């Protein structure tokens, strides 16, 4: 095994260079030149705020999600907060979220003034629809399922419960751009769907970015001003809001990345298929059923002796992540008054491990990952 030198050469102690990095955000040619050209265009026309690329990206993104409207914003978290505000969800209201997500999901509910209520998850690591009903109270206004790690949740079941109980559905599709369920793309089902395009996500900006999509004209007409001070026609303030705009420069680069997205997704899916075949029977792999297509935001295995496996892989130069080491209701911020159920989530969280799954992996690196996992259990 050869150890390549790390990028961060400022480390003084003899650090173990990572043979297989979890992610590699450097931008190689020819994409780099395309991105720079897109930026140069913006610098030439000078419409740095609300430039034509913002609208062009929104149109292209909405089409890709089978949606009528899209509003570009400055992050995935902002997308969730504005979605809640657009639905008039705030003080005194409750929103049901899965216990397992990045804490941004619950934080968005709190920032909007409402209270998250935590729902247990199933073996697919997504919200368990059969656990939702007992959590509904007269204060419940919405269900906010997350499509965890690039797998769309049982969104039809969630939508049916929401409909019978008079609730809204806000999809947190931050991790799932590119995934489909019965041929429907992530974000095509709820009253509103929100995406993050931070640099780690499947469709990644070169900085912070997010977007909200909907088919409802009324919702769109509120979301649109909410992205900047609640102002319509540039000067007339109708709602309380801050500054949540998407930069023109980010939109310009996102247009480049959107055009290249299918190719990128296909590469990620090939890595996943490689792992599926060779890890099956060694650890629990993220199975893909016939009606769905995963975007593999992460490739998450469920493994016995997870912590030992993680250390073992680290010794072999393989960087892995536990996504996420804390369930949202067990975060210090929520712990005291968290309401809901999350016993199965707790069990699953002791077993999950994300292994490197990105387009820059070489065959040698992929073999190194699967051989090392097999060696650990031998």
Ligand X SMILES: *Cc1c(COP(=O)(O)O)cnc(C)c1O
Give me the residues that bind ligand X (CB under 6 A), please: 75-77, 101-102, 104-105, 146, 172, 174-175, 196, 198, 210
Least distance (Å) between residue 125 CB and ligand X: 12
Residue whose CB is less far from ligand X, 198 or 331: 198
Residue whose CB is less far from ligand X, 186 or 353: 186
Residue whose CB is less far from ligand X, 19 or 78: 78
Residue whose CB is less far from ligand X, 114 or 366: 114
Q: Tell the burial category of 254 from Cβ atoms under 10 Å away from its Cβ (0-12, 13-18, 19+).
A: buried
Least distance (Å) between residue 193 CB and ligand X: 12
Residue whose CB is less far from ligand X, 17 or 330: 330
Q: CB atoms < 10 A from the CB of 248, how many?
A: 24
In 3D space, the residue among 154, 120, 137, 160 whose CA is nearest the CA of residue 341 turns out to be 120
Residue whose CB is less far from ligand X, 102 or 376: 102
- Residue whose pair of structure tokens reads 């099956």 in the numeric block: 280
- Residue whose pair of structure tokens reads 């040619």 in the numeric block: 29
Least distance (Å) between residue 235 CB and ligand X: 29
The two tokens of residue 164 are 């019978």
Least distance (Å) between residue 141 CB and ligand X: 19
Start-end of H helices in 127-247: 155-165, 217-226
H helices, E strands: number in the chain: 12, 14
Phi, psi of 195, deg, nearest 5: -130, 145
Residue whose CB is less far from ligand X, 78 or 131: 78
Q: How far apart are CA 257 and CA 57, in angstroms?
A: 10
Give residues with Cβ within 8 angstroms of 331, minimum separation 6: 103, 106
Q: How far apart are CA 57 and CA 91, in angstroms?
A: 33
In 3D space, the residue among 76, 98, 106, 97 whose CA is nearest the CA of residue 195 turns out to be 76
Task: State the residue number with the nearest CB to ligand X.
Answer: 76
Least distance (Å) between residue 78 CB and ligand X: 7
Residue whose CB is less far from ligand X, 246 or 279: 246
Least distance (Å) between residue 174 CB and ligand X: 3
CB 140 within 8 A of CB 96: yes
Q: How far apart are CA 356 and CA 366, in angstroms?
A: 9
Least distance (Å) between residue 112 CB and ligand X: 13
Q: How far apart are CA 91 and CA 160, in angstroms?
A: 25
Least distance (Å) between residue 210 CB and ligand X: 5
Residue whose CB is less far from ligand X, 196 or 229: 196
The two tokens of residue 125 are 């690591």
Q: What is the CA radius of gyration of the chain?
A: 21
DSSP 247: P
In 3D space, the residue among 183, 180, 181 whose CA is nearest the CA of residue 157 turns out to be 181
Least distance (Å) between residue 307 CB and ligand X: 23
């Amino acid at each position: 095994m050869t150890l390549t030198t790390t990028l961060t050469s400022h480390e003084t102690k003899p650090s173990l260079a990572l043979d297989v990095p979890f992610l590699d955000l450097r931008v190689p040619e020819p994409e780099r030149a395309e991105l720079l050209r897109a930026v140069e265009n913006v610098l030439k026309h000078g419409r740095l705020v609300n430039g034509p690329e913002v609208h062009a990206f929104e149109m292209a993104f909405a089409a890709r999600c089978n949606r009528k409207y899209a509003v570009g914003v400055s992050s995935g978290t902002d997308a969730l907060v504005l979605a809640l505000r657009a639905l008039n969800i705030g003080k005194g209201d409750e929103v049901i979220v899965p216990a397992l997500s990045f804490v941004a999901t619950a934080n968005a509910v709190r920032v909007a003034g409402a209270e998250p209520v935590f729902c247990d998850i199933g073996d697919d690591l997504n919200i368990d629809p059969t656990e939702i009903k007992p959590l509904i109270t007269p204060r419940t206004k919405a269900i906010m399922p997350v499509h965890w790690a690039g797998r769309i949740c049982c969104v039809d079941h969630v939508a049916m419960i929401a409909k019978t109980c008079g609730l809204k559905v806000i999809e947190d599709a931050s991790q799932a751009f590119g995934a489909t369920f019965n041929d429907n793309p992530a974000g095509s089902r709820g009253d509103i769907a929100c995406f993050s395009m931070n640099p780690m996500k499947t469709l990644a900006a070169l900085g912070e970015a997010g977007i909200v999509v909907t088919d409802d004209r009324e919702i769109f007409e509120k979301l649109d001003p909410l992205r900047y001070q609640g102002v319509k026609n540039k000067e007339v303030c109708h709602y309380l809001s801050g500054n949540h705009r998407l930069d023109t420069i980010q939109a310009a680069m996102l247009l480049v990345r959107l055009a290249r997205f299918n190719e990128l997704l296909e590469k990620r899916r090939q890595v996943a298929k490689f792992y599926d075949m060779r890890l099956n029977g060694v650890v629990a792999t993220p199975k893909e059923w016939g009606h769905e297509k995963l975007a593999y935001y992460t490739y998450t295995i469920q493994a016995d002796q997870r912590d030992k496996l993680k250390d073992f892989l680290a010794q072999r130069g393989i960087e892995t992540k536990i996504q996420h080491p804390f369930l949202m209701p067990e975060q210090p911020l929520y712990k005291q008054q968290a309401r809901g159920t999350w016993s199965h989530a707790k069990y699953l969280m002791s077993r999950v491990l994300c292994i490197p799954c990105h387009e820059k992996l070489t065959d040698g690196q992929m073999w190194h990952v699967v051989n090392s996992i097999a060696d650990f259990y031998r």
